[in-house]
Amino acid sequence: MTKTSALSGALLDYWVAKAENRPSETEFAPSSNWGHGGPILEREGIHVAPMPARNGTWCAISLGKLQERPGGIRGTWVEGPTLLVAGMRAYVAAKFGPTVDA
């Protein structure tokens, strides 16, 4: 088991694709491509903010639309080195919980 708060790169993108019901073989990089990840943040109401006291770390929390769906987990707080990484970690955590089989 891997903590969703530790996912990064291709593995994080894989879990976002799984949450989106997208084929994993398509080019999809929501943790590094704003065109892929930005719409997910907006659609799902995931809030992301910098943490100046943490030297460039970003925090994200899913307070928006995810909790309105069956199985959505409200208030999943995670951190990441970039806005998109933090946001996609929050999305995966809200969809699958604090750990995934990776």
Report pLDDT digits (tens) over 11-32.
999 999 999 999 877 789 999 9
Q: How many domains does the chain have?
A: 1
Please state the length of the chain. Answer: 102
Report the alpha-carbon distance of residue 14 to residue 65 in Å, rounded. Answer: 22
Instruction: Tell me the mean pLDDT in the region 75-85.
Output: 90
Give the CA distances from residue 14 to residues 53, 67, 101, in Å, rounded to whole numbers and listed in that order.
31, 22, 12
pLDDT band at 65 (very low <50, low <70, confident <90, very high): low
pTM for the full model? 0.88
- Provide the 10 A C-beta neighbour count for residue 75: 12
**Cα distance between the two ends of the chain:** 6
For the cut 80, the answer to whether the pLDDT of residue 56 exceeds it is: yes
Structural domain harbouring 22: 2-100
pLDDT at 34 over 70: yes
